Amino acid sequence: MKVSRRFQLSVHTILFIAVYGDEKGLTCDYISKQLKCNPIVIKNILNLLCKNNFLIKVPSTSNVKLKKDIKNITLWDVYKITDEVDIKKIFCSDDLQITNPIISDLPELLITPFEEVMSHIKDTLSKVSIDSLLKQYNY
């Protein structure tokens, strides 16, 4: 199972804003320079985070601030907006031209175990807040 770069950058961006959010000039360009990432990518992530009520854009500036308390932002919250997968759509059985009944029913057989895996992922990621990550690094 893979975790997208978008998830990683979203978490990194939230952590960065949580630590440096009180500084003036916390703009897309500033964040992208600090994270050594393309400004367009960071802009897209900031827009995604704003759209999902994690951030607010400060009126009359291009600064951003966290909208939610860092204790109330979990990795699962971020995962849901960046990577969440519809289990029923992860199997590429449409391209299989095999008429064997076992192969054609395979996606249905695999849905339940994958739903269990996703349930465990959700439970685990829901327990990890941005605040707890910052505490691990003494911020």
**Hey, where are the domains in the chain?**
5-136
How far apart, in whole angstroms, are the C-alpha atoms of residue 9 and residue 33? 13
Q: Which residue has the tokens 């029923």?
A: 88
How far apart, in whole angstroms, are the C-alpha atoms of residue 92 and residue 77? 27
Instruction: Name the pTM for this structure.
Output: 0.83
Give the mean pLDDT of 35-40.
Answer: 94
- In this structure, the number of other CB atoms found within 10 A of the CB of residue 11 comes to 20
Give the mean pLDDT of 99-114.
Answer: 75
pLDDT reported for residue 138:
83
Give the mean pLDDT of 22-40.
Answer: 89
Residue 1 in this model has a pLDDT that exceeds 80: no
pLDDT reported for residue 94:
57
3-class DSSP assignment, residue 74: strand
Tokens representing residue 14 in the block: 């939230």
Residue 92 in this model has a pLDDT that exceeds 80: no
How far apart, in whole angstroms, are the C-alpha atoms of residue 139 and residue 130? 11
Give the mean pLDDT of 25-42.
Answer: 92
Give the mean pLDDT of 89-108.
Answer: 64
Instruction: Please tell me the CATH code under which domain 5-136 is placed.
Output: 1.10.10.10
